[in-house]
Structure 1
Amino acid sequence: MRIGELARLTGVSERMLRYYEHEGLLSPKRTDSGYRDYGSEEVDAAQRIRMLSAAGLKISSIRLLLPCVLGKKPVFHPCVQARALLRDEVEKLDTRLRELSETRKVVARLLNAVDTNETLPL
């Protein structure tokens, strides 16, 4: 299939699919005339990349995780490294959640003060 069809199937823009290829995340075959020719492997990979990206992972992390989530077994199996990366990501998310919780408390106190015409707490 051509890039437009892959974009429609996966919800990933053509521009992002080209970027993923540039970053080595997708490797479509080429027709004799040079057009990209995507197959079912690229559909699966593009969907997984989209999911990992939506989870907030950077391209470098996705590059490491992609073989693991696709079930491929490369010569050097990176899934051991992926565990450490994922643990780090969970720790970062936990920190962000704590920070957001504190921020929410401050904003809620301010809203309460505004609603009740109280002096704004500092």
Structure 2
Amino acid sequence: MKIGELSRRTGVPTRLLRYYEEQELLHPARSGNGYREYGEADVRDVQQIRGLLDSGLTTEMIRAILPYLSGPDEILPPAGSLTPETAALLQAHIDRIQARVECLARNRDRLRTYLAAADGADEGAVTA
């Protein structure tokens, strides 16, 4: 399939697909006239790239782990494939995610407390 079809099937603009290629996330074949040729695996890869970018991973991190993703819930890294640098990158990202989770949980709890207090204040109010 050509880049326009991949764009239609994934909802990702052609400009971004070219960027993914520049970042070495996609590796389309080239036809005799130089057009990019994509297969079904590229549809899955683009969907995974989008999901990983949406979760906050950088293209550098995605480039390191994309070859080992076989589906949205499966990671199959061969033994010894994870470099110390990549491991440090991923651990730092995990730490940032955990900090955000903790911040969101604190904010959720504060909002619940506020709602509970507001509901209690409403119940004690006298209506005329």
Give TM-score, length-normalised by structure 1.
Answer: 0.70
What letter is aligned with 1:78?
Answer: S
Question: Which aligned runs of 4 or more in structure 1 are off by greater than 6 angstroms?
Answer: 105-112
The alpha carbon displacement at 1:9 in A equals 1.4
The alpha carbon displacement at 1:97 in A equals 2.3
Per-residue CA deviation, residues 3-43 of structure 1 (Å, 9 max, x unaligned), is 11111112222111100001111111111111111112222
Provide the aligned C-alpha RMSD in A.
Answer: 2.8
Give the total of aligned pairs. 115
Per-residue CA deviation, residues 55-106 of structure 1 (Å, 9 max, x unaligned), is 1101111011101114586xx9634655554443222111122233445667
Gaps of 5+ in 1: 113-122
Flag the structure with larger Rg: 2
Gaps of 5+ in 2: 71-75, 117-128
Matches within 5 A, 1:1-122: 1-70=1-70, 78-79=81-82, 85-103=89-107
Q: Are the aligned partners of 1:68 and 1:78 in contact in 2 as well (CA < 8 Å)?
A: no
Give TM-score, length-normalised by structure 2.
Answer: 0.68
Q: Distance in 1 between matches of 2:30 and 2:83?
A: 33
